Structure 1
């Protein structure tokens, strides 16, 4: 499934972040596929993201949600503006969020293609969701993060769960501007994130 380019605008104080003891913010603008995906059938998703990154924690990219027993777990990955420069950022959230950063290639110019993909071994789907940076010229993928628990509901002792226990996956793209821009008259300035080459692939079964 391939989708046309789109733009998302994010006002200040928008975020997707869950941190102890009580922070749970979920007001980032998102554009999700209208139909949930069977978690077992999901293979991969990718998008190219760029923006005029100027304010601390400006961000945008892919976002995935899976309802769990007591809380929705999610993953977001793309570009985030940290320490005065854009970097590749990934957050994995179950009960709480964690956060990892990878330098953006110098030649990237604030633009990157990221991909999330279910790991397979010997043709079998296993537990992990991998995050990759993709070189669009060569097709080479560089792994930057493994979420080992992402597909745990789809695996029990390396066997598929019963069909009546299938979980749905919501997937799409997002933008967020957690910090208010500095400078006179800039408090209401929105972050404008451009997303292109967004595609989702499923396994054939």
Structure 2
């Protein structure tokens, strides 16, 4: 029996990638998908951010699995992110998108450079986005392994998406954020449109600000994303 093929990765910019969700959900995928290292170059004034009353920016470069995943079968995603973080709001890590009735829901998590230091950063966006940051130890040298994972209780898949910091040496996970509404469409009864059960998963980088210093106006942030891995439930 032939093993399912590993899907390709494709470059997009922000939620413009939502066009992928118009394709049929691909069910025949490896349970564990491991990808080669990814390098993303983010130009100044690139971002993925949503804030009332009218800010909705989604031009950040994203490298996504080129087929929509089944939201119900998604278990986890993990990546190690690093860069020469040096400009306010430099960032990169994991990104997930879900099309909804009125907007595109998304979560991004990884490292963000804030007030002169790289921090662990997570943004979850529904109608509007929120933002949380946590310290990144100096010993990490601007490098972080981040994981998102569906919460389970026994064999039951429940509503929350958890964000974890992963210790590279021990594999131990530390939960830092719970997104309680992420799997809402998977738990609601009744018939839902196909797109609401689609999930797009990938990695991203962004440089929302312009670097300071003469001649740096167009300087790109180079984000290294290693060990990108996505796992699916078997059933």
TM-score tier after normalising by the smaller chain length: over 0.9
Equivalent of 2:50 in 6, 11, 18: 18
Given the alignment of the two structures, is residue 31 of structure 1 paired with residue 63 of structure 2, yes or no? yes
Query: 1:114, 1:161 → 2: CA distance?
Result: 34
1:64 pairs with 2:99: no
Alignment partner, residue 185 of structure 1: 215
Per the TM alignment, residue 202 of structure 1 is displaced from its structure 2 partner at its CA by 0.1
- Distance between the aligned counterparts of 2:218 and 2:193, measured in 1? 47
Where does residue 173 of structure 1 map in the other structure? 203
Unaligned runs of 5+ in 1: none
Q: Secondary structure of the equivalent of 1:153? A: helix
TM-score by length of 2: 0.84
Shift of 1:106: 2.2
Runs of at least 5 residues in structure 2 that lack an aligned partner in the other structure: 1-32
Asked whether 1:197 is paired with 2:199, we answer: no
Alignment of 1:86 onto 2:94: no
1:76 aligns with 2:76: no
Native 8 Å contact 1:53 1:81 kept in 2: yes
For each residue in 1:71-100, what CA deviation from the matched residue of structure 2 results, as whole angstroms up to 9, or x when unmatched? Answer: 000000000000100000000000001000
After TM superposition, the structure 1 = structure 2 runs for residues 106-117 of structure 1, keeping only pairs within 5 Å, are 106-117=138-149
Q: Shift of the alpha carbon at 1:164?
A: 6.4
CA distance in 2, matches of 1:151, 1:161: 15
* Alpha-carbon distance in structure 2 between the residues aligned to 1:37 and 1:182: 40
Q: TM-score of the superposition, structure 1-length normalised?
A: 0.96
Moved over 2 A (4+): 160-166
Is the counterpart of residue 144 in structure 1 residue 180 in structure 2? no
Q: CA deviation at 1:150?
A: 0.2
For residue 196 of structure 1, report the CA deviation from its aligned partner: 0.2
Counterpart residue number, 2:81:
49
Deviation at 1:6, TM superposition (A): 1.2
Superposition deviation, residue 162 in structure 1: 4.9
Distance 1:55 1:185 in 2: 14
In the alignment, is the contact (CA less than 8 A) between 1:9 and 1:190 conserved in 2?
Answer: yes
Kindly tell me the number of residue pairs found equivalent between the two proteins. Answer: 202
Contact 1:17–1:24 (Cα < 8 Å) also in 2: yes
Q: Per the alignment, do residues 183 and 65 of structure 1 end up closer, same or farther by CA in structure 2, a change over 3 Å counting?
A: same
More strand by share: 1
Partner of 1:103: 135
Deviations 1:25-78 (A, max 9, x none): 000000000011000000000000000000000000000000011100000000
